[in-house]
Structure 1
Amino acid sequence: MNGVEESEHRDGGAGDGVSPVGLIDGVGDTRRALGGFLRARRGRVAPEHVGISGGGRRRVRGLRREELAQLAGISVDYYVRLEQGRATQPSREVLDALARALGLDEAERAHLDTLAGARRAPAPEARVGPVLRRILDAMSGLPVFATNHRLDVVAWNGLGAELMGGLGDPGRRDRNNARFLFLDPASRFVHPEWEGRAAEAVGQLRVSAGRYPDDTELAALITELSRRSAEFRRIWATGEVVMCAAGRKRLRHPRTGLLTLDFETLHVPAAPGETGLVVHVFSAEEGSREAAALARLV
């Protein structure tokens, strides 16, 4: 085994985002977070997909460090220093080259830029004001709820509370969506496509951890989940990055059964330049079975 492979083996290999004691790599430290993200995404790239022969037994999943460095056109030494957190604020050209070599999508590239910039932004103090509450209540025919960057559900209307597993009653479910997904078996009933929802939650927490490395509450949440949930650790180690968007989701309610609903995310800034709150709105096409089911729940 050559020197690069030996170093890689000692560091845990590609995609190893969790230490032996269950702590998440890089939380609260953007330099380590950058290295952890690069390792995870390097582990996702199959060598044969980028023209590299597997060449027998490989000690690491995905690309070796020297292979990624060669694809990106940078020195192996510099890349190793990036992964180890000893090189900071790489140039735009280096980031472009790494993003191309790793096949990053738009959300992943934005996250890479955030980590590489090492900007220590304060966590937003997003509050639910009376106007937002009136808006949520006025949308009584649609399930609606709002989350902050830690995935705490901070506001909802009646239909949103009912459809998402009983948000109105703290005894029924945790009001943090990540804790609910990973620590409450009831989440698998509410979310029949649990794996996808779990990956979204981890990806959103990863984005928040990169943006707000000094948020101690967020770091404590991620550490708690990493200690208590092997599935959380597994998904985190993939380097998953997700931005809230729009699309369709399947939800299950005991009275209506499975529902396939459209969803849209609306961003309410806490202050200029801050992420603030995300309002999640679900709807169904008029005349559909889902629309009739929502009307019954109202």
Structure 2
Amino acid sequence: MSDLSGFLRTRRARVDPADAGIPADSRRRVDGLRREEVAHLSGVSVDYYVRLEQGRALRPSGQVLDALARVLRLDDAERAHLHRLAHPPRRDASPPSTLRPELHRVLDAFTATPAMIVDHRLDVLAANRLASLLYDRPAPGYNTARHIFLEADGRDLYGDWEKCTGDVVGHLRHSAGRFPQDGPLKDLITELSEGSSRFRDLWSRADVAERTHGRKAFRHPVAGELDLHQENFAMPRAPGQELVVLTAPEGSAAEAGLRLLDELDEDSGHSVSAIAYGGKFSRRG
């Protein structure tokens, strides 16, 4: 089954017939809409839509795709993903995972809040000191998807682990549509599929999402509960790269927690975990 046909099937199963103006039918045997219902509502023939779901109809027009997006109630990210699946991007090489030197200075300018730059695979390309303390590991070389799905402390760190896993999978599905020829991304998806049943379940749903902003909660071994706000800023000249900044409301417990992290002695030679569990907490100054 092609990515396009699989995406259409999962979206069709998600639509409540009542939302599409179709009366309830106790004899309905499928979740969501039937194929013929999608075809009728979108103005295409049943045969053509069946061929789309079977991967036998090539390069549907933008008009057809927009009609399907409307019937399947796709959001903006899903609509764009549908178009990319139907008309894949040119077979360019994977986007670069290098940074301009000036961007390291930009990260260091964030002195009171965690900030990092990640690529489309969720590899951390660079991070400021506070972000490294938050995640208890240096960058680059850290992949947030591997951490949340495969590493022992991944589930403990995130205050809303189930939501975070869904966000990660939605992002990777979005990236797979943007960069279909990226071999390392395919390898990462395979690795996560083989190592995590949670990932396999979420990936089978074919949900796609573009990260922009939202709540991000942490359970940090030193700083405690951190209820932060995440903003993602796309890097216009570096496709797939994002500047991620985590902030806390002024006067909040989360702001105090970040301040506590910032006061860790960076020359102590101890990781955050060692400080938390070994009692070796020290302050600068």
In our comparison, the structure showing a higher alpha carbon Rg is: 2
Give distance in 2, aligned partners of 1:201 and 1:279.
Answer: 16
Q: Provide the residue aligned with 2:251 in structure 1.
A: 287
Q: Provide the residue aligned with 1:98 in structure 2.
A: 68
Q: Provide the residue aligned with 1:148 in structure 2.
A: 119
Give distance in 1, aligned partners of 2:186 and 2:76.
Answer: 25
Q: Higher relative contact order at CA 8 Å, sep ≥6: structure 1 or structure 2? A: 1
Letter in 2 for 1:188: R
Q: Please give the secondary structure, in 1, of the residue aligned with 2:171.
A: helix
Q: How far 1:143 sits from its partner (Å)? A: 0.5
Percent of pairs with identical residues: 49
Give distance in 1, aligned partners of 2:40 and 2:152.
Answer: 45
Q: Please give the secondary structure, in 2, of the residue aligned with 1:263.
A: strand
Alignment root-mean-square deviation, CA:
2.0
> Is 1:120–1:212's contact at 8 Å kept on the other side of the alignment?
no
Q: How far 1:139 sits from its partner (Å)? A: 1.3
> Is 2:146–2:192's contact at 8 Å kept on the other side of the alignment?
yes
- Range 118-127 or range 175-184, more displaced: 118-127
Q: How far 1:287 sits from its partner (Å)? A: 2.2
Q: Provide the residue aligned with 2:134 in structure 1.
A: 163
Q: Provide the residue aligned with 2:273 in structure 1.
A: none
TM-score of the two chains, using structure 1 as the length reference? 0.81
Give distance in 2, aligned partners of 1:183 and 1:287.
Answer: 35
Q: Please give the secondary structure, in 1, of the residue aligned with 2:122.
A: coil
Q: Provide the residue aligned with 2:106 in structure 1.
A: 135
Q: Please give the secondary structure, in 2, of the residue aligned with 1:90.
A: coil
Matched, 1:117 2:87: yes
Superposed, 1:3-152 pairs within 5 Å as 32-56=2-26, 58-122=28-92, 123-152=94-123
Letter in 2 for 1:139: F
TM-score of the two chains, using structure 2 as the length reference? 0.85
Aligned residues: 261
Q: Provide the residue aligned with 2:203 in structure 1.
A: 236
> Is 2:88–2:180's contact at 8 Å kept on the other side of the alignment?
no
> Is 2:175–2:240's contact at 8 Å kept on the other side of the alignment?
no
Give distance in 2, aligned partners of 1:199 and 1:120.
Answer: 28
Q: Provide the residue aligned with 1:15 in structure 2.
A: none
Give distance in 2, aligned partners of 1:289 and 1:204.
Answer: 29
Q: Provide the residue aligned with 1:297 in structure 2.
A: 261
Q: How far 1:58 sits from its partner (Å)? A: 4.5
CA distances 1:72-121 after superposition (whole Å, capped 9, x unpaired): 12112111211222212211221121011111111111111211222234
Letter in 1 for 2:68: L
Q: Provide the residue aligned with 1:19 in structure 2.
A: none
CA distances 1:265-285 after superposition (whole Å, capped 9, x unpaired): 12224x4xx514111101112
Give distance in 2, aligned partners of 1:49 and 1:72.
Answer: 15
CA distances 1:203-238 after superposition (whole Å, capped 9, x unpaired): 111111111111111111112222222211221222
Give distance in 2, aligned partners of 1:72 and 1:242.
Answer: 23
> Is 1:199–1:235's contact at 8 Å kept on the other side of the alignment?
yes
Which stretches in structure 2 are left out of the alignment for 5+ residues?
A: 263-285
Q: How far 1:189 sits from its partner (Å)? A: 1.5
Q: Provide the residue aligned with 1:245 in structure 2.
A: 212
Letter in 2 for 1:263: Q
> Is 1:65–1:79's contact at 8 Å kept on the other side of the alignment?
yes
Give distance in 2, aligned partners of 1:114 and 1:264.
Answer: 25
> Is 1:136–1:144's contact at 8 Å kept on the other side of the alignment?
yes
Q: Please give the secondary structure, in 2, of the residue aligned with 1:43.
A: helix
